[in-house]
């Protein structure tokens, strides 16, 4: 069975390799194969060069292994979005395509102007990869895309051999946590307090402040296992992982930044939070409280107002409900307002990302002032946390999530991130508790807990 596909890929490549184009991209239909198993199969050959994505509706799952092309930008301004767009167009235009065509996956740093922390060294202002092997699961169909630039037929054949003959050798001894440290906890609490002062003095209206939890493990963290846990525990989230050399950025985010399909696009306003209840009754009470709480409604309203304005500038037929509803995740419930619109001619997904990032759900309001305040008073480098992560295809369609509920994994270390929206009546202690709830998805996935 495996040999059949192997032959099919190699046959097609034999016919098209050596053409003058820069990259050859062929796609074939496959039998069922579990995307997570495919991610694991790449462990030996492609460790440090893998990615994983599945959207919150399970419409599409992508697993990328290896790197046919890399787009990278160290540009600190908004130019980075346009740089990526330009390079992607060049790659697609120069490619020889059979089938659905190549797709790139990657993301952006939250704020390239923030002094960078050594842990994020492998994650530049913007980076996207076109993988050598892309597995796509869409509805119940599986496709394999092979993108080749320099490799010979023999090399590809050997890679396919290794990928499809790898046994699942997940080792039974699991890494366990040996150290847990709340990084700069007191400094963060002081920053929250200071932010409320700024807000009371009308210097700013909302600012999102994040903090970090550092974990150290007994042995190397098994990334496939963490992805598996995130899937089991957070089925309604975007699940993502992006390996870059020795580090891996991973998470389970409930927040969509933007999705574009032809002329249609979607985004979402997500801000305002409370934990889930222990009983149905308590859960409903907490939800009702959240829907009516002034402080949380303010946090949410900044996001709706800004997104409405941004979308109206580049879209028509913008549909936004007047009232938020509840989005209930496993540990937390949020105020949620979905947005749909039709994009004007010539508006790309990159320009939507540029315009929206960061929304007041992750930055604050007004935008520039909020980002600057974060740069000055937040005791960490966000790197790619709270920034856009996602994919774009050869037709310019794609989807980005906001990379929250996430962690940066090193060999046996993990840096977890969580933040919350500070407005006039924020209480530092309550906000601190809110971040504790937001650490849970990553924390429990890393601990490998089932419940």
Round to whole Å and give the CA distance between 34 and 115: 40
Round to whole Å and give the CA distance between 40 and 169: 9
Q: Which of 151, 229, 243, 255 is catalytic?
A: 255
Stretch that binds ligand ISJ, among 80-88, 105-113, 285-293, 415-423 (CB under 6 A): 415-423
Minimum CB–partner distance for residue 272 and ligand ISJ (Å): 5
Return the H-helix or E-strand segment holding 419: strand 413-422
CA separation, residue 56 to residues 53, 60, 158, 401 (Å): 10, 9, 34, 10
Looking at beta carbons only, is 358 or 421 nearer to Mg ion? 421
What are the strands, taking DSSP E only, across 161-291?
A: 177-183, 206-217, 238-244, 247-253, 256-261, 264-275
Minimum CB–partner distance for residue 362 and ligand ISJ (Å): 6
Round to whole Å and give the CA distance between 192 and 355: 27
The dihedral formed by the CA atoms of 71, 373, 271 and 357, expressed in degrees to the nearest 10? -30
Which residue of 71, 257, 404, 414 would you call a contact of ligand ISJ, by CB under 6 A? Answer: 404
Query: Binding to ligand ISJ by residue 109, rule CB under 6 A?
Result: no
Round to whole Å and give the CA distance between 239 and 351: 24
Query: Binding to ligand ISJ by residue 378, rule CB under 6 A?
Result: no
| Residue 334 interacting partner from Mg ion, ligand ISJ, none (CB closer than 5 to 8 Å by kind) | ligand ISJ
**Adjacent-strand bridge partners of 274:** 333
| Residue 272 φ/ψ region, left for φ over 0, alpha for ψ in the -120 to 50 degree band, beta for the rest | left
Stretch that binds ligand ISJ, among 3-11, 78-86, 162-170, 414-422 (CB under 6 A): 414-422
DSSP state, residue 57: T
Query: Binding to ligand ISJ by residue 363, rule CB under 6 A?
Result: no
Minimum CB–partner distance for residue 370 and Mg ion (Å): 14
Minimum CB–partner distance for residue 135 and ligand ISJ (Å): 29
Query: Binding to Mg ion by residue 359, rule CB under 5 A?
Result: no
Residue 98 annotated to the active site: no
Minimum CB–partner distance for residue 153 and ligand ISJ (Å): 46
Which residue of 68, 126, 207, 271 would you call a contact of ligand ISJ, by CB under 6 A? Answer: 271
**3-class SS of residue 257:** strand
Residue 19 annotated to the active site: no
Q: Which of 87, 114, 151, 206 is catalytic?
A: 206
Query: Binding to ligand ISJ by residue 298, rule CB under 6 A?
Result: no
Residues 6+ apart with CB under 8 A from 332: 273, 274, 275, 276, 437, 438, 440
Site for Mg ion in 408-427 (CB under 5 A): 420-421
Looking at beta carbons only, is 255 or 354 nearer to ligand ISJ? 255
DSSP state, residue 13: H
Looking at beta carbons only, is 41 or 270 nearer to ligand ISJ? 270
| Residue 48 φ/ψ region, left for φ over 0, alpha for ψ in the -120 to 50 degree band, beta for the rest | left
Q: How many residues touch ligand ISJ (CB under 6 A)?
A: 19
Residue 299, annotated as binding a ligand: yes
Round to whole Å and give the CA distance between 30 and 15: 20
Residue 118, annotated as binding a ligand: no
Report, as residue numbers or ranges, the catalytic residues.
206, 255
Output the known binding site: 299, 434
Residues that bind ligand ISJ (CB under 6 A): 208, 210, 255, 270-273, 299, 334, 361-362, 386, 404-405, 418-421, 438
């Amino acid at each position: 069975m495996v040999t059949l596909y192997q032959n099919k890929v190699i046959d097609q490549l034999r016919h098209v390799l050596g053409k003058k184009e820069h990259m050859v991209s062929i796609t074939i239909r496959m039998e069922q194969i579990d995307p997570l198993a495919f991610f694991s199969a790449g462990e030996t050959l492609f460790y440090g060069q893998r990615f994983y994505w599945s959207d919150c509706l399970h419409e599409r799952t992508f697993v990328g292994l290896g790197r046919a092309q890399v787009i990278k930008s160290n540009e600190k301004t908004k130019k980075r979005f346009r740089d990526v767009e330009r390079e992607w167009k060049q790659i697609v235009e120069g490619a020889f395509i059979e089938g659905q065509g190549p797709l790139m996956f990657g993301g952006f740093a939250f704020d390239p102007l923030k002094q960078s922390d050594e842990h994020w060294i492998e994650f530049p202002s913007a980076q996207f990869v076109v993988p050598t092997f892309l597995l796509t699961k869409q509805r119940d169909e599986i496709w394999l895309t092979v993108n080749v630039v320099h490799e010979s037929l023999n090399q590809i054949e050997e890679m396919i051999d290794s990928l499809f003959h790898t046994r699942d050798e997940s080792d039974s001894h699991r890494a366990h946590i040996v150290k847990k440290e709340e990084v700069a906890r007191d400094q963060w609490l002081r920053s929250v307090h200071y932010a409320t002062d700024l807000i009371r003095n009308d210097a700013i209206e909302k600012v999102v402040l994040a903090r970090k939890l550092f974990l150290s493990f007994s042995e190397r963290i098994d990334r496939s296992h963490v992805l598996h846990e995130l899937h089991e525990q957070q089925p309604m989230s975007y699940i993502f992982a992006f390996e870059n050399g020795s580090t891996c950025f991973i998470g389970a985010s409930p927040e969509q930044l933007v999705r574009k399909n032809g002329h249609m696009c979607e985004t979402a306003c997500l801000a305002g939070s409370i934990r889930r209840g222990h009983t149905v009754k308590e859960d409903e009470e907490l939800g009702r409280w959240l829907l009516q709480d002034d402080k949380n409604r303010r946090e949410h309203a900044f996001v709706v107002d800004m997104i409405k304005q941004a979308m109206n500038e580049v879209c028509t037929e913008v549909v936004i409900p007047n009232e938020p509803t509840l989005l209930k995740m496993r540990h937390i419930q949020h105020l949620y307002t979905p947005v749909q619109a039709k994009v004007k001619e010539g508006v790309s997904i990159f320009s939507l990302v540029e315009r929206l990032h960061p929304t007041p759900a992750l930055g604050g309001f007004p935008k520039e002032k909020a980002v600057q305040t974060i740069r000055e008073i937040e005791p960490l480098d966000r790197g790619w946390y709270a920034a856009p992560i996602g994919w774009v295809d050869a037709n310019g369609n794609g989807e980005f999530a906001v990379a929250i509920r996430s962690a940066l994994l090193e060999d046996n270390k993990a840096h977890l991130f969580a933040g919350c929206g500070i407005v006039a009546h924020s209480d530092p202690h309550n906000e601190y508790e809110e971040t504790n709830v937001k650490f849970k998805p990553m924390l429990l996935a890393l601990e490998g807990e089932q419940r």
